[in-house]
Structure 1
Amino acid sequence: MTKVILKNYVTGKAKESDLEVVPTEAVELKVPEGSKDVIVLKNLYLSCDPYMRGRMTKHDTPSYVPDFIPGEVVTGFGVSKVIDSTHADFKVGDLVWGTTGWEEYSLISNPQNFFKINHPELPLSYYTGVLGMPGLTAYAGFYEIASPKEGEYVFISAAAGAVGQLVGQFAKLMGCYVVGSAGSDEKVELLKNKFGFDDAFNYKKESDLDLALKRCFPDGIDIYFENVGGAMLEAVLNNMRLHGRISACGMISQYNLAEPEGVRNLFQIIPKGIRIEGFLVFHHYAKYPKFEEMTVQYIKEGKIIYVEDTVEGLENAPSALIGLYEGRNVGKQVVVVSKE
């Protein structure tokens, strides 16, 4: 059996060599004698997510999630099957999603942040994405934080990613005008032809982001779903409408920088009355049942389409994660550990 570890803390750009796939010690696949509220999981699918880059760096002050510890197994969201349990809420054979180890089997104490999978008739990998943490992130950030109205103008950066593709589809279902940015022509075509965005552009081909946004939004932007930060955020502020809202989900352009970029035009938020609100998905877990019910119905009715980028095997997990920060993935990046 194998696991993925962080070799050393990272500064600057993360590399595949910062992670290592190593053998694990032989483990008994049972809850240790006398242990209470413990489950043993067989991991099926692992989720590669942008926030994991922050956990690869040593922080002097605690972040919202703990730093990884060099030499210890990397953890992240995943889909798993319960193979032993002393927890009253989880039975052998249950399918669950939550934070697990990047390894074949994990021992989890006090699994209060695990959710049972209620729709195993859908692809289980969906619970790393559209029906898991990224999906709930899109739901909370768009409906709860941005407070959208029919007919509004919505812009989404990193729009072909795990979260962005859903925000765009939620916005279209509300009757909004939706534009996304992405880092390749392939992703731009995906946004327009598969996800139904009204327009999209490849930011790498734009010499002036401010002009690109003026071209797409001649009347300005009501809602910006922020996944990128830096120069894109600066350009967006120039194009926001009066009382616009920015739902700040992530800033992936900054994660690999030793010194984050500044945004020089924050004064724009004052005369325009712009509201910028950041959020963490953990604060919205109570909304998961409502989100799941709505999204499952949309999926079954064909109103939401979800694209995944999958790799097979733990040995390919480091490459998949680092590829996320280089924009190599098309859609939600998933690592398949075992299909059953």
Structure 2
Amino acid sequence: MRRPAATARLGFVLAAPLILVAALALGAAIGETSIDLDVVAKSVANRLWDAGYAVDPIDEGIVWNYRLSRAIVACCCGVTLALSGVVLQALLRNALADPYILGISAGASTGAVAVAILGFGAGMLSLSLGAFVGALVAFGLITLLARRAGSGPGAIILAGVAGSQLFNAITSLIVTRSANAEQARGIMYWLLGNLSGVRWDDAWLAVPAALLGLLVCLFHARALDAFTFGAESAASLGISVRRVQAVLISVAALMTAVMVSIVGSIGFVGLVIPHAARLLVGVRHGVLLPVSALTGAVFMVVADVVSRTIIPGQVVPIGVITALVGAPAFALILIRGRHVQ
């Protein structure tokens, strides 16, 4: 039993970087103007190691300055949202929990917009920090509402829907009252999920957030296994329930906030990817977390490629693509849960 498990784990460790590199290469190669993979490789080599390959400067600029940074941020976005979904579904013991449905993304959007438009923090708060505060406030409010509403499994989801609508309304009010026409157009497009303006400065923020989130979640993998059977069972196994909940919820909120501040609110990734990963590897979080992270990364790169190519000459917000996939999956999860009950 241990040898096959160890072999599978080693195989994943070896395959994951190759799959990730392949996804990044395809993300940099595919677009309105296709670029050969060898040109992508030479462009990266020229930028990283000054290799001196003869490459068209326009192609090299497209690969390095536009597509590769965008693909890396898309990967990080997929990793963080998928991990947040796994964590929230385990802690809340609800198959429908994810940052978007629970209103965490909406709260993060409100926090970021409040900093950008209203100037909250007097210049001392960045967009990411403002989004983090908004995400925590949203989750606290939704948790309080769910506890007052009742302890049924659907209470947290209904509270999340209500909270999401509330924070979306606050965001719209801020934009309507305080933003000029140009700001309003940019923010509304950004709120749909947009990678068009992503550059390397954003990647330097997204990569540490994704790596930190992955490491913290993996460190608490056994605790998440215990939470699968409920908080009381976790406490009986020696898990510090309140500490683990505080740490993991804060990490999930932080990861969501960082991504929202960069690319806007992207829905359903944290819902769909964990369920897809469970179908592949089961429910043990030591394996589920890295597989979910990898699956989310690849999914977001593919969604970004589709958003750039589905309509010639136009870029569709990536949130539209994830919603087109996530909404039917959400319906299937609802129907499956009803049959199980």
Q: What TM-score comes out, normalization by structure 2 length?
A: 0.27
Which structure has more strand as a fraction of its residues?
1
